[in-house]
A and B are shown apart, each in its own frame.
Chain A
Amino acid sequence: MSILGTRVVRTEDPRLLTVGGTYVDDLRLPELAGAAQVTFVRSPIAHAAITGIDTSAARNAPGVVAVLTVADMDDLPPPPPDSGMTGTEGAPLPLGGKWSEPLLAVDRVRFVGEPVAIVITDDRYQGEDAAELVSVDYQPLPAVVGFDGGLSADSLLFPDAGTNVAVSTGFTGDDAAFEGCEVVVTREIVNQRLAPVPLEGRAVAAEWKDGKLTVWVSTQNAQISRFILTALGLDPANIRVVAPDVGGGFGAKIGVDRDALIVAWAAKHTGRALRWAETRSENMLAMTHGRAQRHSITIGGSKDGRVQAYRLRIVQDTGAYPRMAGFLPFLTSLMASGPYAIPHVETGYDVVVTNATPISAYRGAGRPEATAAIERAMDLFAAEIGMDPADVRRINLVPADKFPFTTAAGATYDTGAYVDALDKVLDGAGYADLRAEQARRRERGDVLQLGIGVASYVEITAADADGGETARLIVHDDGTATVYTGSSAHGQGHHTAWAMLVEAELGIEMSKVTVVHGDTDLIPAGVGTYASRSLQLGGVAVQKAAVEVKELARRHAAEMLEASEADLELDVDRGVWQVRGDPASSRTWAQVASHAGEAGLTADVNYTEGAPTFPFGTHLAVTEVDTETGKARLIRHVTVDDAGTVLNPVLAEGQRHGGIAQGVAQALLEEVVYDPDGNPVTGTLVDYAIVTAAELPSFELLSSETPATINPLGAKGIGEAGTIGATPATQNSVIDAVSHLGIRHIDMPLTPARVWAAISDADGSAL
């Protein structure tokens, strides 16, 4: 029996549990033995002109090696010319030209936390002291805060641009489709700004030696990082990027950002090995944030539950610099109609700059926003026509016999069983019983009201499937194998999964398979891990490499056994080659590899897919809401997350668990908040309400596997299902708990204060 699809515990864990991982700040390499520490001086003001920087006091402080500002950056090439892109191209690239982001600030700061100078010291504590001594003259400018601030031109972040709207699709607003609808509901909702908070913040170590820059960085993509680092004026051949163990990424560690470039530049500039591991307070200000969209929703349909038209207009607050151009709202628009067959869909977006931390990908990256909007819209529509929200969904879900299905928004969903997923969740949760219990509590006026929230979703994974992924597989003459993968593990369990693929194909036991990732000297070509792409691209590449190696081995085994290749077979259970039906003739992998030589059993694969895949599912959340305090507590969470054929249920479930928790956290707890002057008020983990074990129940996962047809593993991506499904299910459940009071919507996060205010407004007892 194949090992694929079975529950295999991770090979990574013994090391992580005993000596711990080796994250960047744990590196004790000889190259870094004398490394000095980098400490950033960051803007404490949201928007200001810089009129002077005095580093003299800092330079004379104990242990200071150097204090560097933009004035020292005279050894960098000029920025690339304006690409002429409008930002609506759907590419996750920074908008350059007038909107360019510097490395160290030049003459203006645009968010609290923006890097202004660095202090290099012998040790960590000296850096904190010396950074305090750098004196920067700031001339404050009016701060641009929030969606409306960004839409206004009262104060401009980039005066040369003449506007704060960096990207706009335009918007026609065709009402014709809604004029034929019996019911039309409109609502403005906010998908709030979040902090990714990987437990390991950003960290970099860098060495410049003999004309080569080596950068150890906590990243999801060593190879993309190397490409970005060429901005320092170096040829890729003169840059080595190493991603050691990475303590979580969640999209905020795709490639490297300006802070890492600054550290790498400083190592080259000073000739001294350097290291930097940010503090959490620094991380909350200067690692990218996610979400931050405002949605204007219009949904129309008939009283029998059929949705006929949907409009989603998006304002994306992109923070101080448009690092992703229009990519996030582009994805939101593409996925706007969710898993429903809606004849008319209209979308458009404006991307505005504000004096806040730049926005980038955060687990889901545009798709949780799309799902939150349509799933709120479905509940609003259901409430308006007085129909059960699960029934409204069932009526509108794309039926199983309609795949592949192209939506009015332009996405082509590959395979699916959307109605089955909904019904499985309703059955698993005991939906009818939950509604009966809800009715009983309402009847008796219970303080603890019950809410049931349903969210069906479809998402896009490996959106850049044509970018592909690489794998190299070598079988050595001792019978072991090494996989070099372009995918980049940071918790997902790639090393276990890739070894399973080799064992399944070649019969070489997992314990004899070494997986290597994240070193551009060893793996020059690769893309890395984001967008739930690893298994369906990187995993398939490994499998294809194994198939290629098998064919190479067949030739050598045939030579050794003096038989024709057609008569040779690989006994995968025993991991030996033999003449068909003659086990006594067997040759081990070690023998075949010795015969072939190492080069003889090496395969290189760059696997691309022609189209993305579309996982789907349904989440059901049950919450109890204390109507006297507004406190909502999630008590059950039941899900189907169908991501095609599952390679290892242990890993797939782990991805779902983590995503669900982050989704619940967005719904109930987390929000990055700025005051009207652009000062962050959630700058530490004391103020930012990251979810803990105490606020969550155990989750109830139901299985469903509808294979993808585009790749031989049948795999789709699972990494982001949780944030996409759990967020609206939880939000809907809280609103459902108080819907009998006439409440139709409360924005996230559904904190006690917000829920209590909504209850108070609804029953007229507001003070």
Chain B
Amino acid sequence: MKVTMKVNGQDVAADVADRTLLVHFLRDVAGLTATNVGCDTSSCGACTVLLDGKSVKSCTVLAAQADGREVVTAEGLSDGSGQLHPVQRAFRAEHGLQCGFCTPGMVMASVSLLAENPSPTEDEVRTALEGNLCRCTGYHNIVRAVLAAASERQPQ
């Protein structure tokens, strides 16, 4: 079937099998490989992207369901000026990533969290990221990064 969507501001159209998952559409059709597949039970969140501004696990969405909609992946997060997005910047400053495999999904989930709750508590961050698994960092610096990004965005 023909599927058309806007990915990181660009129109992407392709004829794909009906059962094509959004994550495979992004990786294999759009050629954007930051979005990773870490499980097959919607547990790990490595494939998290923004669909019409809300975070979704792109392994659990058919490409067909994203037809006519707008997707943002980690590649599309910064404004293209070479500057990192505040959440990306905070992840680097706080050492919120090690092997990097969960990172694009973790960053997208964090962006979505801060859009909904601009000044979360530590407990709120931990609860909100429950669906995103990281095996390297123990989450300690991820939580710090999200809190740092939140405070950076708050007017002093």
Contacts and interface: CB of A to CB of B under 8 A. Distances in A.
Interface of A: 9-10, 12-14, 16-23, 25-26, 28, 124-125, 197-201, 245-248, 250, 277, 279-281, 490-493, 650-651, 653-654, 657-662, 684-686, 690, 692-694, 696, 698-699, 722
A200 B95 contact: no
B100 A491 contact: yes
A17 B74 contact: yes
Contact of A279 (B40, B43, B102, B142): B40
A685 B133 contact: yes
B14 interface: no
15 contacts: A13-B100, A18-B75, A19-B74, A20-B104, A21-B100, A125-B19, A245-B100, A247-B101, A248-B135, A277-B37, A654-B136, A657-B140, A661-B138, A684-B39, A694-B126
Nearest to A197: B135
B135 A662 contact: yes
A660 B37 CA distance: 25
Contacts of B78: 18
B140 A685 contact: no
B31 interface: yes
* Candidate in B46, B103, B122, B143 with the most chain A CB atoms within 10 angstroms: B103
A199 to B, nearest CB: 4
Contact of A686 (B43, B74, B143): B43
Nearest to B87: A17
Contact of B103 (A16, A650, A657, A661): A16
Interface of B: 17, 19-20, 24, 27, 31, 33-41, 43-44, 46, 74-75, 77-78, 84, 88, 91-93, 95, 97-104, 107, 122, 125-127, 129-144
A197 B133 CA distance: 10
Contacts of A651: 95
Contacts of B137: 654, 657-658, 661
Query: Main secondary structure on chain A at its contact with chain B?
Result: loop
Contact of A658 (B31, B129, B138): B138
A16 B96 CA distance: 11
Given A23-B101, A493-B98, A653-B141, 17 more contacts: A17-B104, A18-B74, A18-B75, A18-B84, A124-B24, A199-B99, A247-B101, A248-B98, A491-B99, A654-B136, A654-B141, A693-B125, A693-B134, A696-B138, A696-B140, A698-B122, A698-B144
Given A26-B33, A245-B100, A657-B140, A685 B43 contact: yes
A9 B145 CA distance: 13
Contacts of B99: 21, 198-200, 245-248, 490-491
Given A18-B74, A279-B40, A693-B129, A658 B95 contact: no
A138 to B, nearest CB: 24
Of B19, B33, B99, most buried by chain A (CB within 10 Å of CB) is: B99
A684 B98 contact: no
A282 to B, nearest CB: 9
Contacts of A699: 138, 140
A248 B136 CA distance: 7
Nearest to B129: A693
B126 A696 contact: yes
B74 A280 contact: no
A13 B40 contact: no
A667 to B, nearest CB: 14
A542 B107 CA distance: 33
A351 B150 CA distance: 52
A115 to B, nearest CB: 18
A28 B33 contact: yes
